[in-house]
Amino acid sequence: MPRLRIRHESLYAYSTPVEFGVWRLLMRPLDSHAIRVLDASLETPPGQLTWTFDAYGNSVCYLQPLGAADHLRVVNNLLIERFPTPLGVVGWSTPTLPVLYGVAARRALEPFIAPDTPDLDAAYADWLRLSGPRADEPALAFLQRMTTNIHDTFAYVARDAPGVQGPAETIAHRSGTCRDFAWLMIESVRHLGFAARFATGYLHAPGAAMRGACATHAWCEVFLPEAGWMEFDPTNALVESYSLIRVASARTWQEASPMVGSVFGQATSQLHVSVDVELMDEAFPARAA
């Protein structure tokens, strides 16, 4: 299986020295049948590190930096093996729409089915109606089509400002970032009865750069009966791809920030992020979907 080396540097630069509160870091993937962590290390300023799991089972590091400083620098170093699910190989049937979850599964999935933005404006409702499932269309085929449709009809525009556009805003602008496209798809399929969650991590972009390369990446995961959680990246039209390296997932984008914390002091700040994903095995497929 392909091995990938990842280096993710985040640098907050402050105009004057500040004191730091506790920072929450989502940077380490869980070992699973999809990802095997061969090596992992964090470079942080002097301080206390505490590791735990959040309510979604993500690995979380809490960092309490010591003393005042005019910058906060964290470097995440990973060496992993990636094992995505090959489409058409696993032994499950593709359910037709509407998707039906068993009683036990639905109890667990209910928070991921309920939309976070319940009200649809007219433009968003029209887009969802036109992009929705066709008669007798299998669920997986529909999700693949929506993934490709968002990729093909929306312009990718990088944005440094924090936060995520609402689905209606992305529809109105016809553009966005990876997190905007992921949130649009998540909320849209929730309105159609699917369980979906926000995934964050890294993107391997060999050859011609994919959208969202050299930064942290976000995409959508949808739960299908028998298949389980499946990856759909509307930014790059990828489905269950080697290129997607998940670190964490949550119900909303607000809960999936790679690095968030507080500072004390009067200062302006600038954030600089760089991500490098290096292939360690030449047999790695350039684009698996």
Contact 207, 285 (CB under 8 A): no
> Is the per-residue pLDDT at 202 higher than 60?
yes
Average pLDDT, the chain: 90
Residue 117: predicted pLDDT: 83
Give 92-122 pLDDT, tens digit per residue: 556 678 889 999 999 999 999 999 987 788 9
Give 212-223 pLDDT, tens digit per residue: 777 899 999 999
Q: Which CATH fold topology does 3-83+257-279 show?
A: Immunoglobulin-like (2.60.40)
CA atoms within 13 A on the CB side of 273: 18
Contact 240, 180 (CB under 8 A): no
Task: Estimate the crossing angle of helix 178-191 against helix 139-153, to 10 degrees.
Answer: 140
> Is the per-residue pLDDT at 188 higher than 70?
yes
The model carries a pTM of: 0.91
Integer CA distances (angstroms), 34 to 6, 30, 63, 80, 261, in order? 16, 9, 27, 10, 30
Would you say domain 103-255 falls under CATH 3.30.930.10?
no
Give 127-169 pLDDT, tens digit per residue: 999 999 988 888 999 999 999 999 999 999 988 777 899 999 9
Residue 213: predicted pLDDT: 78
Domain positions in the chain are: 3-83+257-279, 103-255
Give 222-244 pLDDT, tens digit per residue: 999 878 999 999 999 999 988 99
